[in-house]
Amino acid sequence: MLISCRESKPTNANYHNAKALYEAAQIFNTRDKSDSIVLIDFRQKEDYLAGHIKGAINITRKEVQDTTAAISGIKLDKVSFEKLLQRKGIINGYRIVIYDDKMCCDAARLWWMLRINGSEKVSLLNGGLQNYINEGGELVTEVTERKPTFFKFAARGIGLEAKRQLVSSVLNKDGWTIVDARSVEEYTGKIFSKKCKKKGRIPGSLNIDWSYSVNYHEDQKFKSAEKLVGIFKLNGISKDENVVAYCRSGVRSAHTTFVLTELLGYPNVYNYDGSWLEWSSLDELPIELKAI
């Protein structure tokens, strides 16, 4: 099913790119046919089948992972990803709106993959599925069927990806900041990051938990631009810096990448796909493990 709705005035006009966020009200408003979207439910299949937004298709995290990679969770290559989107019925030129039930944490991973491969019209549903329900949205169980398409990435993607070699080359280098988007317990080594080989963090990295960017215990939406600016400026991260974000597997750090680029307009932000899963597995790479 094709959903058509109006791009109404954003909740917070101070975001760098207000269209990067879609609101529940825009999903409800189907009277104006001025903009066409493809709605993606980025959750497990069983969750999708239990109830989803009408018209949404389902893509799971496993479907966008390279199962042949030595590190689990690594993204699909461009060609394989393109073929997946073709099978799912994604149409060139339509706005892609993604949601999950984790305050856009998982959804941001798919946003990142689309953006680095050249898609420009990609948005996250602000507040995710829970906010949609809280605002009166109803769920359906009918599976949305879309015919396969000949989807092609229209252009070269933007530079939002960091490889291990880049990260290791900029450790403690002027003009570069590395942001650890994990919990403080993972960052300090109090607990292991799941399936990782060692405790600790990348040397010199700053800890800014991804969840600080959302109203975690309230409406689950992104915080205002003013509050987000405060969070990152308080930690000394300016727009003049090159920023590398990482977490355990490049998912939470994709959320941080979304916040910095789309909501705050930082020009040079890179998500480290392998993240701590890869870094901790290589003995030649340095780690930092001490209390802060």
Query: Which active-site residues does the annotation give?
Result: 247
CA 176 to mean position of chain CA atoms: 21
How deeply is 287 buried, as exposed, middle or buried, from its count of CB atoms within 10 A (0-12, 13-18, 19+)? middle
The token pair at 38 is 């493809």
Residue with tokens 């089948």: 49
Asked if 59 and 146 count as a contact pair (C-beta separation under 8 A), the reply is: no
Paired tokens of 15:
């975001």
Structure tokens at 49: 């089948």
Task: Cite the DSSP H helix spans in the chain.
Answer: 24-28, 45-50, 78-88, 105-116, 128-134, 164-169, 184-188, 225-234, 252-258, 275-279
- β-sheet bridge partners, residue 39: 97
- Looking at this protein, which amino acid is placed at residue 100? D
Task: Characterize the bridge pairing of strands 176-180 and 161-162.
Answer: unpaired
Residues 6+ positions from 161 with CB-CB distance below 8 Å: 116, 270, 271, 273
Residue with tokens 């959804």: 107
Torsional sign, CA 281, 287, 289, 292: negative
| Strand ranges inside 171-241, DSSP E | 176-180, 206-207
| Amino acid identity, position 191 | I
